Amino acid sequence: MLAAMIEHAMPCLTAHGFVSLAYVAWEGPTRRRPVVCVHGLTRNGRDFDRLAAALATGAPVFCPDMPGRGKSQWLDHAEDYAYPTYVSACAALLARIGADEVDWVGTSMGGIIGMFMAALPGTPIRRLVLNDLGAFIPATALSRLATYVGSDPSFASDAELETDLRRIAAPFGRLSDADWKHLARISTRRKADGTLGYAYDPRIGNALRQGEPKDVDLWATYDAIGVPTLLLRGAESDLLRAEDARAMTQRGPRARLVEFAGVGHAPALMADDQIAHVRAFLDL
């Protein structure tokens, strides 16, 4: 029997006031610490529907939409689309659900948020899953993201949007038609003129377009993490390079590394083998 999924919204504080943060809660055994799943840059919490349903057999699961994505409120000040805002939002979510300890699954941007939180003194994170996110992010990968993140295309139909999504998200790997339809459905917003667009504020890409992208070095943060860590990598990923992934198994939390053939950035966590690795690591 599938766990029940319930939609919620709550206020969270940004540098310029409160905004509404949307999240979905998957009911699970309350004797087990919750799992928090946080999405990538242009995505939203519903990306984790299949993974969350599987994990919820053993624990409650919470999947937020970061501000400016999904059903969460867009920010009035684009400069607030930054990691202090996202960490604050996630801390508020943990307070709302009353979790003293959590396990964390973070894809790309969600992995960076998890790293920042796991590296802090007194962190509530007890196990950390980093999905195709490393301690070093090469500028070349950021340049690729900048080619589409923040654009605001319009589509006349669901089919047109799905076709475009399949193109830009091809690195997710081989997904079924049903998977692509699901991802397209949860990625859609209706614009004022009646056309369809992606369910995010285009201004989330502003930072990527401020000058030439530069390498991002997060080694100091990664080295400060002291909890068991699972590192998932698409074998064809340009954002998490093979040499950086291997280095992450030798320093900091000495992550356990699992690679998936035929996948780039980032594994969608919809395939049975990908879900199985997460479940096993979280002991669910």
Express each pLDDT in 221-254 by its tens digit: 999 999 999 999 999 999 999 999 999 999 999 9
The side-by-side arrangement of strands in the sheet containing 5-14 is 5-14, 17-26, 61-64, 35-38, 102-107, 125-131, 229-234, 256-260
Q: Which two tokens stand for residue 88?
A: 């604050």
> In 10 A of CB 224, how many CB atoms?
16
Would you kindly state where each structural domain of the chain is located, as residue ranges?
Answer: 5-281
Helices of type H across 191-271: 219-223, 242-248
Which residue is it, tokens 């950086």?
244
Say if residues 131 and 171 touch (Cβ distance below 8 Å).
Answer: no
> In the chain, what percentage of residues exceed pLDDT 90?
91
Cα distance from N-terminal residue to C-terminal residue, the chain: 16
Which residue is it, tokens 């993201």?
145
Q: What is the pLDDT of residues 107-157, one digit of tens each?
A: 999 999 999 999 999 999 999 999 999 999 999 999 999 888 888 999 999
Q: State yes or no: pLDDT of 1 exceeds 60.
A: no
Q: Which residue has the higher pLDDT, 276 or 99?
A: 276
Q: Which two tokens stand for residue 49?
A: 């529907």
CA-wise closest residue to 128 among 224, 53, 227, 275: 227
Which residue is it, tokens 């080295």?
223
Global pTM reads 0.96
pLDDT interval class at 3 (50, 70, 90)? confident
Domain range 5-281, CATH class? alpha beta
Q: State yes or no: pLDDT of 31 exceeds 90.
A: no
> What is each CA distance from 276 to 2, 51, 212, 273, 282, in whole angstroms?
17, 9, 39, 5, 10
